[in-house]
Structure 1
Amino acid sequence: MYKINFRHTRRFQEIINAFLKHGFGHVLFRLGLTNRKSSKLDNAEMNMQDMGIRLRKTLQDLGPAFIKLGQVASSRRDLIPEQISVELAKLQDHVTPIPFAKVREIIEMELEAPLENLFIRFNEEPLAAASIGQVHVAELPTGEKVAIKVQRPDIRQTINKDLAILRDLVGYLEDNVEWAKRYCLRDMIDEFARSLNDELDYRVEARNADRIAKQFMEDTTIHIPSIYEDYSTEKVLTMEMIEGIKVNDYEQLDTKGYDRKVIAARITDSLLHQMFVAGFFHGDPHPGNIYILPGNVIAYLDFGMVGRLSEDMKYHFASLVIHLRSGDTKALMRTFYAMEIISDETDLRSFKRDVEDLQSKYYDIALTEVSLGTVFLELFQVAYRHHIQVPSDITMLGKAVLTSEGLLAELDPDISIMKSVEPFGKRLIVERYNPKNLLERSWDGMVENFEIISHLPKDLKAIANTVKKGKVQLDINVQQVQIFLNRFDRISNRLSLSIILLSFSILMVGLIVGASIAGQTNRLWHFPVLEVGSVVATLMFLYLIISIFRSGRM
């Protein structure tokens, strides 16, 4: 039976009661969180959809931390069955607004001045209210109309208590339940806690807005509201008031003469630019966060949730899309290996068979007929079946695509994100194999590999000492052999390339410097040594590059 920290007993009991109320007593008993008496009236045979509905209602009752947890979980189709994910995606905040007296107190404490001195007008009725904060409209002394987000009192303490309970609970599950250990639930909760704590600090949201605004400094078709830093703190965020039309208010858009196709194209291009050019994107582009301004200008709001894609992750995603379309199953498998998401328990033969089935479904189909969101869902479902944990960056990317794709289809039924993303993917692949980028990665790889080699004698000595003490454990997993060989092959190819390029550079520089010092031409017996040497070395370089590319191990 699970024992809770004494300080959290009351809140833990509230959590248990909420799950019992919605029919999860049998589940709690199976996990060792309650006794049999608590679960005797439960229907243990509820189906997935019914479970999803009940879980959504339970999390709704438990407040901000659990609502956010459910919203994040709804994007993890690699971990959660689709029927449950669909229900969790419906989670919404239904909260009572903060009384104005408390709003005044928070603002005056944070901005260190009376409300009347800060604003010449302040609307006491909130424009919107959510579980973490609410928004009021005001006017600055300089005349600008602003939206002020005010954090709920004591919300951080409430959320931190729930996060502490979740950490304790996940630790218990990982120690006692096999599937919890397999999915690294503790790491997931830690990541969720970091994300939620960022949302509780409005200064982080302000920096996110500024970073995305810089992406579109030269693009007048995209507008990011300005942040007023002098009126913003950890608990108060003051930004430019956006007075446009909500993007899904189609009737008003049509009445005012806006061009839906132009709007859809601009939203698509701006989202793909954020994802695959900047690598920093709006993580929750639902209709409530997108407004349309005159001239079909797109305005994005609410930057509390953002996603990040590294250069490698952008390339891997582009590779998945292109290889899926081209029908290259081997290349798809190589991409999964490169992403390092295949675990020791993955049945490689079964996984490859499912990948081949998925690939054959989309092979040579017109891009306009393919939904990128559906592709994501099916990839996540394959991952779920094989206990593969997809990187959180990719799942947030999937959520953003899923959220926006339905909206875009209403704006312009002819638009296809899949078709729009392909040029970005091809551009990423071309950039990755640009000679300059290859040289930079090769140099980095060479430095890293030489560091490994320099530490090799010390490591071998440590291994020898361990063997002498009889403390060596041999654990061979046949499924890991191919992964090991792929990685070893890639390292050796990179090291070879690095050494040849370095040797070539040293040789050429030496000959040129020597010829300059001697004041002689670069001919030997009337033979153009440097020119011919450069041609030969270049051909060797190209041969090596082609060989490595053909091996698929770069």
Structure 2
Amino acid sequence: MLKRKMKNAQRSQEILNVFLKNGFSHVLFRLGITDRKFSATDEEADLNLYHVGKKLRIALEQLGPTFVKFGQIASGRRDLVPEEIAVELEQLQDHVEAFPFVEVREIIEHQLAGTMEEFFQEFDEEPLASASIGQVHRARLISGELVAVKVQRPNIQRQVETDLAILHDLASFLEKNMAWAKTYRLRDLIYEFSHSLREELDYQLEARNSERVARQFTKVPEIQIPYVYDEYSTRTVLTTELITGIKVSNTKQLDAEGYDRQLLAERIADSMLSQVMEHGFFHGDPHPGNIFVTSGNVIYFIDFGMVGQLSKEMTYHFISLMFALRKGNIERLIDVFSDMDILDENTNIAALYRDLQIIQRKYYEASLNDLKLGDVFMEVFSIAYRYRIRLPNEIAILSKVILTLEGVLSKLDPSFSIMKAIEPYGKKMMLRQFDPRYLVENSWHSLVKNAEIIAELPSDIKKAVKTIQKGKVDLDVGLKESTIIFRRFDKIANRLSFSIVLLAFSILMVGLIIGSAIAGQTAMFFRLPLIEVGALIATLLFAYLLFSIVRSGRI
């Protein structure tokens, strides 16, 4: 325990020195981390955000893999990081000097419990690629297959855990002392980052991720995922099929060998959107280095260390956001934000509405071919940053994926529109809300959830009464945005009243049916059969109620 604290203290001092050396003394003083004697001159403190971004990028690169990964993730969070800094962080380099082959051999032999010669006919000592977490070598198995062997850097996990512990302590300190850190729930952000980085360090999890995506395309031969050799893979060694195709960014070679770039763009977009919209599990880093093209215009995706996952509800919210932006429906956009529970009592809804109107005027009725979804996302994220609206991590990952994907597709086919490609999936997703199986599944989940709430209600009421009797209840009602609150209450009251009327009408119809059965004749009113007409009216009322609930996205 003492040894770990001493190691953390030593690393903390090292981190502090790097930031001081790169001109962040004024920032560290403002955060309460250093004394005034370290504070910068006014000239240093007045640097603009572009200069700050550049200095921050250099500092993060000097601090190693944990901080490089943190910066790369932060570059996609325009709702949390100013655009000028985010743009600079996008340039963070993840290429570092390779570690010696003697260490590669030692790690492989320890992990696979045998000598290299037992497993491989050939093994290239020079790596194909080297990054901050690991490096990849070309090899040939004893059975003859060409493979790519990814080996994790020695002691990287220990170094990452030390850095993460320091980041968690820093986040706790800032949340206690800085209002902005509490507003952005900085500890939660560091937790999400830590979880993501630890997953990336687990090569067995990466293998499962790639196999899961591969199952999505078992009937799609033009989309391939490298085969994983589980018997030659562990948490720190990953052996997969070697892909020797052309990088998707190498358009000159693609043209020279006669590949159809328009078809490639369509296949890449369709496969990624299928992962997102239909399966809710997708490649989290589809940059050009992770996409290869082979003969027959076949697409290979590699490197599944980073993946994204969307729940059905979050997918629906994403589609709703897209449709609201496309139609210029600002009220619907704010409703979706509210449904996602990312607005609070401090959000200035009127000002938010005005800023969203600027985006509406810019993109409303724009040609789909001219509409860049990544640009729209960046503007929405900038507004979110301005109003301290923290978007869900899943949406942040997805937006970065789309931004990266648009860059890849624009080089293959400049006329390709990802917004246009999304529309069929969006419409399909909307129609799925009316699928009887989907309705039954969600209704059952709601029924179980409500049953649990009702079962716990007496206990909760008892606890609440005891709390009130002790005088420990603080009532704090903020009506700053009372119009929206009352509008929502009004919708709930109207729907509840409508449901009661429908129930009463249904009971009346049951009475008429029973009465007619006993009397042995059909009830008539102005020569119209009451039961048939009533059944039609009840059906229409029920359909309208169901439609209004489904459209709200809250089943």
TM-score normalized with structure 2 length: 0.91
SS at match of 2:157: helix
**CA displacement 1:347-389 (0-9 Å, x = unmatched):** 1111111122222221111111110000100010010000000
Partner of 1:525: 521
Q: Which aligned pairs between 1:63-74 and structure 2 lie closer than 5 A?
A: 63-74=64-75
SS at match of 1:120: strand
Identity %: 52
Partner of 2:16: 16
Partner of 1:230: 231
Take 1:280 and 1:550, find their aligned partners in 2: how far apart are those partners?
24
How far 1:538 moved relative to its partner? 2.2
Take 2:301 and 2:518, find their aligned partners in 1: how far apart are those partners?
61
Which stretch of structure 1 is more off in the superposition, 449-458 or 239-248? Answer: 449-458
**CA displacement 1:162-195 (0-9 Å, x = unmatched):** 0000001111110111111110010000111011
Would the alpha carbon gap of residues 493 and 393 (structure 1) be closer, same or farther in structure 2, given more than 3 Å must change?
farther
Partner of 2:289: 288
SS at match of 2:282: strand
Counterpart AA for 2:157: R
Take 2:268 and 2:20, find their aligned partners in 1: how far apart are those partners?
43
Take 2:115 and 2:150, find their aligned partners in 1: how far apart are those partners?
17
Partner of 2:545: 544
**CA displacement 1:395-434 (0-9 Å, x = unmatched):** 1111111111122111111101111111111111111233
**CA displacement 1:109-139 (0-9 Å, x = unmatched):** 1111111001111111111111111111111
The CA RMSD measured in Å over matched residues stands at 3.0
Take 2:497 and 2:361, find their aligned partners in 1: how far apart are those partners?
37
Would the alpha carbon gap of residues 425 and 45 (structure 1) be closer, same or farther in structure 2, given more than 3 Å must change?
same
How far 1:496 moved relative to its partner? 8.3
Take 2:231 and 2:494, find their aligned partners in 1: how far apart are those partners?
54
Would the alpha carbon gap of residues 532 and 63 (structure 1) be closer, same or farther in structure 2, given more than 3 Å must change?
same
Partner of 2:27: 27
Q: Which aligned pairs between 1:266-285 and structure 2 lie closer than 5 A?
A: 266-285=267-286
Q: Which aligned pairs between 1:355-434 and structure 2 lie closer than 5 A?
A: 355-434=356-435
**CA displacement 1:518-550 (0-9 Å, x = unmatched):** xxx999537899977754542331132355578
Which stretch of structure 1 is more off in the superposition, 492-501 or 443-452? Answer: 492-501
Q: Does 1:333 align with 2:306?
A: no
Partner of 1:455: 456
Q: Is the 8 A contact 1:337 1:483 kept in 2?
A: no
Q: Does 1:100 align with 2:101?
A: yes
Would the alpha carbon gap of residues 534 and 496 (structure 1) be closer, same or farther in structure 2, given more than 3 Å must change?
same
Counterpart AA for 2:321: L
Would the alpha carbon gap of residues 464 and 216 (structure 1) be closer, same or farther in structure 2, given more than 3 Å must change?
same
Partner of 1:219: 220
How far 1:7 moved relative to its partner? 3.8
Counterpart AA for 2:358: D
SS at match of 1:148: strand
Take 1:257 and 1:238, find their aligned partners in 2: how far apart are those partners?
31
Would the alpha carbon gap of residues 328 and 141 (structure 1) be closer, same or farther in structure 2, given more than 3 Å must change?
same
Counterpart AA for 1:130: A
Q: Which aligned pairs between 1:84-123 and structure 2 lie closer than 5 A?
A: 84-123=85-124
How far 1:457 moved relative to its partner? 3.4
Take 1:421 and 1:243, find their aligned partners in 2: how far apart are those partners?
30
TM-score normalized with structure 1 length: 0.91
Partner of 2:39: 39
Take 2:445 and 2:518, find their aligned partners in 1: how far apart are those partners?
32
Would the alpha carbon gap of residues 110 and 187 (structure 1) be closer, same or farther in structure 2, given more than 3 Å must change?
same
Counterpart AA for 1:13: Q
Q: Does 1:203 align with 2:204?
A: yes
Unaligned stretches of 5+ in structure 2?
524-528
Q: Which aligned pairs between 1:343-358 and structure 2 lie closer than 5 A?
A: 343-358=344-359
Which stretch of structure 1 is more off in the superposition, 254-263 or 32-41? Answer: 32-41
Take 1:502 and 1:112, find their aligned partners in 2: how far apart are those partners?
70
Counterpart AA for 2:302: L
Take 1:212 and 1:524, find their aligned partners in 2: how far apart are those partners?
62
Take 1:402 and 1:208, find their aligned partners in 2: how far apart are those partners?
22
SS at match of 1:414: coil
Take 1:207 and 1:480, find their aligned partners in 2: how far apart are those partners?
47
Take 1:287 and 1:156, find their aligned partners in 2: how far apart are those partners?
27
Q: Is the 8 A contact 2:249 2:288 kept in 1?
A: yes
SS at match of 2:132: coil
**CA displacement 1:264-306 (0-9 Å, x = unmatched):** 1111111111111111111111111011101111111100000
Q: Is the 8 A contact 1:445 1:494 kept in 2?
A: no
Take 2:343 and 2:133, find their aligned partners in 1: how far apart are those partners?
37
Partner of 1:157: 158
SS at match of 2:44: coil
How far 1:158 moved relative to its partner? 0.3
Take 2:518 and 2:277, find their aligned partners in 1: how far apart are those partners?
46
Q: Is the 8 A contact 1:290 1:299 kept in 2?
A: yes
Take 1:231 and 1:534, find their aligned partners in 2: how far apart are those partners?
66
Take 2:127 and 2:251, find their aligned partners in 1: how far apart are those partners?
25
How far 1:253 moved relative to its partner? 0.8
Partner of 2:324: 323
Which stretch of structure 1 is more off in the superposition, 458-467 or 305-314? Answer: 458-467
**CA displacement 1:72-123 (0-9 Å, x = unmatched):** 0000000001111111111112322121111111101111111100111111
Partner of 1:518: none
Would the alpha carbon gap of residues 156 and 490 (structure 1) be closer, same or farther in structure 2, given more than 3 Å must change?
farther
Counterpart AA for 2:382: Q
Q: Is the 8 A contact 1:490 1:553 kept in 2?
A: no
SS at match of 1:292: strand
Which stretch of structure 1 is more off in the superposition, 277-286 or 461-470? Answer: 461-470
Q: Is the 8 A contact 1:123 1:138 kept in 2?
A: yes
Q: Is the 8 A contact 1:446 1:495 kept in 2?
A: no
Q: May I ask how many residue pairs the two structures share in their alignment?
A: 544
Counterpart AA for 2:38: S
